[in-house]
Structure 1
Amino acid sequence: MQLNSSGGISRTVIWLMSVISGLVVANIYYNQPLLGLIAKELHVTESAAGRISVLSQLGYAAGLLLIVPLGDKLFRKKLVLTDLLLVFAALLWMAFGTELWMLYIASLLIGVTSVIPQLFIPIAAELSSDKEKSSNIGTVMSGLLMGILLSRFIGGIVGELWGWRAMFGIAAGLMVLVWFAVYKMLPELPPNFKGNYGELMKSVFHLAKTQQVLRLASFRGAMAFGSMCALFTTLVFHMENPPFNAGSSVVGSFGLAGAVGALAAAKVGKLQHYFSLNRIIFFALLVVFGSWLFTYFAGETYWGLIAGVVLVDLGVQSAHIMNQTNYFSIKSNAVNRLNTVYMVSYFIGGSLGTWTASIAWQYAKWGGVCFVGAVLALLALTAHLMFSRRKPFNS
């Protein structure tokens, strides 16, 4: 076990989990700037190709629900190593798939098996001292965040240089390196839940049913993430057309613009010295809604799209951090299962945003996409104002 001199988890292992989190979660998002290339090669509609992204997000939600709770019941190192083998196989299937239905299944399986970061976060929390806990969790989360954002940039460049299949082949190779790193360096943790799998899953649904704070945080997170996914999934289709006529590498580079907003959001916790949690969430969701004004009214310009991407990432990630702060304040030892409920909802919302935006693009192009994104943001705002504490700005 990799421990430091004071008995806590070493910084080397924390940074290892951070890097691995980014590499694994990236598997879900490589496809977004590549959808146009996939549609052209397979001679299918953009809407049909867009379902690849929908299925990867639905798969991730399924993996969060079915696999992540097992971190309380099984030895986590063995669980991670087994899962990585399944990720590797799914990525190879994606790289060599020749029919659209093959890509659909592969994308679903990539999503299901790419949940390792959500097993790492509880490990970081469990093995850290109280003094280092927030810092260590933040480090792992930063790797996860950078993986999400940079995957679009890297996927776009690789797709333009060597084709979309190359990206998934490279990702499969990276999973082999990750497997050996985990085998050598990750500490082993014994299970802490003694019941059977059915009882474990019942406890997850019980938390969702009984914890109002968790339900509200989950709905806010789902709608906000769905709003962001509506933008990123259809951005490639929008920018292939005039006046941009841009390739996948240009579209992927918008992930770097999003990184500016998302990394700024990492500092949002400090605002709690000045504002209540509910007030911060309100303004974060307001930023998400406002981002669509730039995206719609200036959506035929680079500066308008960049502003929209920066703001939507800033708002969504700020709300995400505050949502987690909100439900982790619940007095419960089932931290993994609280996180399962929230993250499953989060990615169901993402798949909803992707699916509805793909349909909107098919029938109403960019204006329809902007309508979908704005409506999802407005639903999150409305739920927050209606169901947060009676004194939402003074709690």
Structure 2
Amino acid sequence: MSRPLPRGGTFLLAVLAGTAIANNYAVQPALTAVAADLDVPLSVIGLVPTAALAGCMTGFALLLPLTDHLAPNRLVGAQLTALGAALALAATAPDAFVLLGAYLLIGAAASVAAQAGNIAGRHARPGRGGTGVALVAAGMSAGILLSRPAGGALTDLLGWRRTLLVFAALALLGALAAATLLPRHRPHPERGYRATLTALAPLLLHQPRLRRAVTTGALWYFAFNLVWIALTLDLAQPPHSLGPTAIGLYSLAGLLGFAALPLTGRLTDRHGPRRVIGLSMATAATGTVLLATGLDTPWRTALGLALFDAGCFAAQAANQSRVIALDPARSGSLSSVYLVVYFTIGALGTAAAAPLLDTLGWQGTAFTALGALLLAAALGRR
């Protein structure tokens, strides 16, 4: 039986998750300045976000299962300390090679955000698991949404190296808070860590409910990446011909999804994840239909994106709660499998966006995403 989090523990995990995952994105507005400072082509420094994503995927595969083996205070505290050290390494990097290596480590350590959601669900009070997972998801969403403007503003004020040191200090403060306030109770897994890693792939074979959760989640994340990348490309081309700033303003539509997450958690605890996923997919599908009618009207595009984002965000929080509830004692391993497949299929959506846009146009691409959402809704009801 997992011991419940102390008062304010879930909020702390949400803050830690948001500040950790922000490090994968905060440097992006400063990439031009970084390239100039290190005297390398922008194409080389452009690999920094890729390195962060590769590190994060590695963290999901290798570090997330540690939640089944280590006490939360030790695990989160140690990983945030490692994040602070990796950020300090990036801040003092003498060349692009060291910087890219540092961002592999930053991405891996930033996967503590997924550990935070897992811990919130596992250590929630009875009947409050969905609320805990959703609150941490809201923290992660806030971190992602605010990371780029915060990173850009700090870079203008302090320079990119000092900005990374500020984020390193925040990570170390988070490590101290985690070590002090999170539960000290160590799980007692049935197998060792190496055996846990070996057993990850077979989980998909032996857990039909996990396969269903993975498939439904991967479908809407495929649709999410497909819509956002294709929309960005289409808005930049005639007849719209919008600049980066105007296109970037549409990302504020994601604030509705962020605001809906706390309600999502309460609904999941009260009615179960299946109903919440069905309602979320209906919301996302409605937004996609609005988007498919065309991007000529800004308010309609913004409303379509708001509904689309809110549906996908809410479904993800509910689905994550469902994965954790399958077997709380092995929730780290289950979440690891879920997130690795989830992000892999999402990457396929990113890769498919430009070819589909060229072949089918914006409307055909939007209806492809709609098909993925409707299939996810059908599977989610089973």
Same fold at TM > 0.5: yes
Q: Per-residue CA shift, 1:186-241, capped at 9, x if unaligned?
A: 23121321422221123322222222332232233234334444666798888899
Structure 1: any 5+ residue segments left out of the alignment?
1-6
Shift of 1:131: 4.9
Summarize deviations over 1:339-364 as a string: whole Å, max 9, x none.
Answer: 2221222222344444555xx39x98
Deviation at 1:24, TM superposition (A): 0.9
SS in 2 for 1:30: coil
**Contact 2:68–2:331 (8 Å) recurs in 1:** no
Q: Cα 1:261–1:372, aligned 2, differ >3 Å: closer, same or farther?
A: same
> What amino acid is aligned across from residue 79 of structure 1 in structure 2?
L
**Closer, same or farther: CA 293–104 of 1 in aligned 2, 3 Å:** farther
Return the offset for 1:120: 2.7
Structure 2: gaps of 5 or more residues: none
Counterpart pick for 1:336 among 298, 320, 332:
332
What residue in structure 1 maps to residue 66 of structure 2? 70
Q: 1:106-125 residue pairs with structure 2 within 5 A? A: 106-125=102-121
Tell me how far 1:102 sits from its aligned partner. 4.5
Q: Which deviations, in whole Å up to 9, do the C-alpha atoms of 1:14-46 show, x marking residues without a partner?
A: 32222111111211232455557667875335x
State the match for 1:3 in structure 2: none
**2:198 aligned to which of 202, 222, 245:** 202
State the secondary structure of the residue aligned to 1:70.
helix
Q: Which of 46, 51, 54 in structure 2 is aligned with 1:55?
A: 51
The change in CA–CA distance for 1:245 and 1:126 in structure 2 (over 3 A counts) is closer
The normalised TM-score by structure 2 is 0.77
Secondary structure, aligned partner of 1:195: coil
Distance 1:202 1:142 in 2: 32
Aligned pairs (5 A) from 1:156-167: 156-159=152-155, 164-165=160-161, 167=163
Match of 1:44 in 2: 42
> What residue identity is the alignment partner of 1:43?
P
Partner of 1:283: 282
SS in 1 for 2:326: coil
8 Å CA contact 2:226–2:369 kept in 1: the answer is no
The answer to whether the aligner puts 1:181 opposite 2:180 as a matched pair is no
Return the alpha-carbon distance in structure 1 between the equivalents of residues 33 and 306 of structure 2. Answer: 25
For 1:298, which of 279, 295, 298 is the aligned residue?
Answer: 295
C-alpha distance in 1 between matches for 2:141 and 2:278:
24
- Tell me if 1:172 matches 2:171: no
- Three-state SS of the structure 1 residue aligned to 2:149 is helix
Contact 1:288 1:377 in 2 (8 A): no
Q: Is the 8 A contact 1:285 1:316 kept in 2?
A: yes
Residue correspondence of structure 1 range 256-275 to structure 2 within 5 A: 256-268=252-264, 270=267
Aligned to 2:42, the other structure's residue is in SS state coil
TM-score, length basis structure 1: 0.75
Distance of aligned partners of 1:281 and 1:206 in 2 relative to their CA distance in 1, 3 Å threshold = farther
Match 2:7 to one of 11, 29, 53: 11
Q: 1:67 Cα shift?
A: 0.5
Q: Describe the superposition over 1:140-160 as per-residue Cα deviations: whole angstroms up to 9, x where unpaired.
A: 333223222222332344455
Q: Distance in 1 between matches of 2:179 and 2:322?
A: 34
CA RMSD of aligned residues (A): 4.1
Task: Write out per-residue CA displacement over residues 300-334 of structure 1, whole angstroms, 9 at most, x where no aligned residue.
Answer: x7546644542332121122133234444536642
